[in-house]
Amino acid sequence: MTREKANEALVHAMRKHGATVIAKATRLLVAAHRTRTPASTGGIEPQKESEAYRVQDEVFAELWPGVRATAWKVGGPSDQVEPTAAPIALLLRSVVSVAATSMNMVGVEAEVAFRFAKDLPPRTRPYSERSVAEAVGEALVVIELCDTRLANWKGTSALWKLADFQNNGGLVVGSGTKDWQKIDFLKQEVEFRIGSRVVKAVGAHSYGNPMRLLPWLARHCGKRGLGLRAGDIVTTGAWTGLEIAKAGDEVKAHFPGIGEAVVRIN
């Protein structure tokens, strides 16, 4: 076999392996969603982010056929790391009650989201930070509900978590402000109450200004032919980290000058 033929055979094998992993991972996660039974990954392992994003796409299309995602999560540990993103299917309006038994992991995060007032349709040329900012209509306080469809989510790889919608279980949308341009995110305060516990922070977003994540997400959605539309909501990551709630807890995120969101776990 010539070197050229050998390379072609290797590429074919890699593509076949990737397609098999995507198909198996999709089946596992779809079943976990439908049965509410956490899935064991069974030695199946995505090898790169593109595979994890393909699994996201396939699972979303299987569970919500013909539905376009109108909310997204985007974030990362710092601006030195490539962000990650996932579509959000479940949007709830504050104040709302959620059953603890409906989730495998009752995680909650206090976050700032942005609602778009103008469309950002897919295009080959990336949107500038200015053009993305001009499309934003308001900043919102939200509580991300963090859940998992993975049996051993703590020990599972980052790529599996990404495939599993980056641990998203829904988004509770609270009040906000249209004067978001006046917010100094480096000095922004947050108070997060989880039952009797209170967590406070100032300027604690991992990117400093969470608006910096939106141009990246616009590119991410554009590559998928989706774009962003007026009314879409994008949440940008936790300000105080992941907190675990329990039945009986009232969870309240308060960002002075922006708004607040409340969810009751019952």
134-149 confidence digits (pLDDT tens)? 999 999 999 999 999 9
Cα 39 from Cα 32, distance rounded (Å): 6
Is residue 24 domain-resident? no
Is residue 59 domain-resident? no
Cα 200 from Cα 252, distance rounded (Å): 12
The tokens describing 258, both together, are 């922006």
CA distances for 190 relative to 78, 92, 114, 157, angstroms: 19, 21, 16, 30
- Does 124 or 243 have the greater pLDDT score? 243
Over residues 27-38, mean pLDDT: 95
With beta carbons less than 8 A apart as the criterion, state whether 206 and 200 touch.
Answer: no
Q: Which domain holds residue 148?
A: 68-265
Closest among 206, 257, 245, 243 to 76, alpha carbons compared: 206
Computed over every residue of the chain, the mean pLDDT equals 93
- What are the backbone angles phi and psi of residue 114, rounded to the nearest 5°? -130, 135
Is residue 8 domain-resident? no
Residue 252 has pLDDT above 50, yes or no: yes
Tell me which H or E stretch contains 75. Answer: strand 71-75
Is residue 58 domain-resident? no
Cα 72 from Cα 207, distance rounded (Å): 17
Other Cβ atoms within 10 Å of 94 Cβ, number: 19
Over residues 57-72, mean pLDDT: 97
The region, left, alpha or beta by phi > 0 then psi within -120 to 50, assigned to residue 62 is alpha
Over residues 258-266, mean pLDDT: 98
Tell me which H or E stretch contains 8. Answer: helix 3-35
Is residue 27 domain-resident? no
> ∠ CA(202), CA(265), CA(30), 5° rounding?
100
**Residue 42 confidence class, pLDDT cut points 50, 70, 90:** confident
Q: Count up the domains in the chain and report the number.
A: 1
Least-confidence region, from 44-48, 201-205, 241-245:
44-48
**Residue 4 confidence class, pLDDT cut points 50, 70, 90:** low
pTM for the model:
0.91
Query: What was the pLDDT predicted at 203?
Result: 97
**With 0-12 CB in 10 A as exposed, 13-18 as middle and 19+ as buried, what is 175?**
middle
Non-local CB neighbours of 158 within 8 Å, separated by 6+ positions: none
Is residue 217 domain-resident? yes
Over residues 42-47, mean pLDDT: 89
Is residue 55 domain-resident? no
Is residue 62 domain-resident? no
Query: What was the pLDDT predicted at 3?
Result: 54
With beta carbons less than 8 A apart as the criterion, state whether 235 and 129 touch.
Answer: no
- The CATH number for 97's domain is 3.90.850.10
